[in-house]
Amino acid sequence: MTALTQSVPDMEALIKDGSNKSALTCLHCPSRILNASVGTYVEKEFSLPAMTKLKSQTDTENHVLKDFWKVSDMFHFENVGFSHTADGVKYLTCADCEMGPIGWHDLQTKENFVALCRVKNS
C-alpha cells in the first residue's frame, strides 16, 4: 500500500468564516453534494483509498489527506451516498455517479468529512 500526501492549492480562497464559501459539487458530474457554508473546515490527517486505479494495479492505493469539510449531520448533505461499513467507517460517494470515496462517515461521532481535493469547491 502506498501513501501519498495531497494538499489543496489556494485553500484560503475556498473558506469564508470557517465554512465552505461555495457549494460543493462532484468532480465527475453536476451533482450537488453540499450547499455553501454548511461545512466547517477542519485540518485532520486521514487516509482515503484512491478514487481510481489502473487496471494493472492489484491493491488500492491510499492517499493521506489533510483538508476536510466537516458536516455534523448526514441530513445536511444535498446529495450523497454512504457505502457499507469498511475499515470501520462508511465511505462517502457522489449520489449520482458514485465516484468516491469523497470522504468518510465516523460511526461513533456520526460526523462526516468531505475531502476538499475530491470535490469541486466552486
Partner 1 sequence: MAKKTYDLLFKLLLIGDSGVGKTSILFRFSDDAFTSTFISTIGIDFKIKTVELRGKKIKLQIWDTAGQERFHTITTSYYRGAMGIMLVYDVTDERSFENIVKWLRNIDEHANEDVEKMILGNKCDIDGKRAVNKDRGEAIAREYGVPFLETSAKANTNIDKAFNDLATAILDKYAGKEPGDAPDRVMVDPRRGDTSRRSCC
Grid cell locating 37: 457554508
DSSP structural state of residue 60: P
By CB under 5 A, is residue 31 in contact with Zn ion? Answer: yes
By CB under 8 A, is residue 49 in contact with partner 1? Answer: yes
By CB under 8 A, is residue 119 in contact with partner 1? Answer: no
Q: How far apart are CA 16 and CA 9, in angstroms?
A: 16
Shortest distance (Å) from residue 107 CB to partner 1: 6
Q: How far apart are CA 56 and CA 43, in angstroms?
A: 33
Q: Which does 38 bind (CB under 5 to 8 A by kind): Zn ion, partner 1, none?
A: partner 1
C-alpha 64: how far from chain center: 12
Structural contact between residues 10 and 16, judged by C-beta atoms closer than 8 angstroms: no
Q: Which does 26 bind (CB under 5 to 8 A by kind): partner 1, Zn ion, none?
A: Zn ion
Could you say which residues in the range 77-96 bind Zn ion, by CB under 5 A? 94, 96
Interacting residue ranges for partner 1, rule: CB under 8 A: 28, 35, 38, 49-53, 60, 72-86, 90-91, 93, 95-101, 107, 110
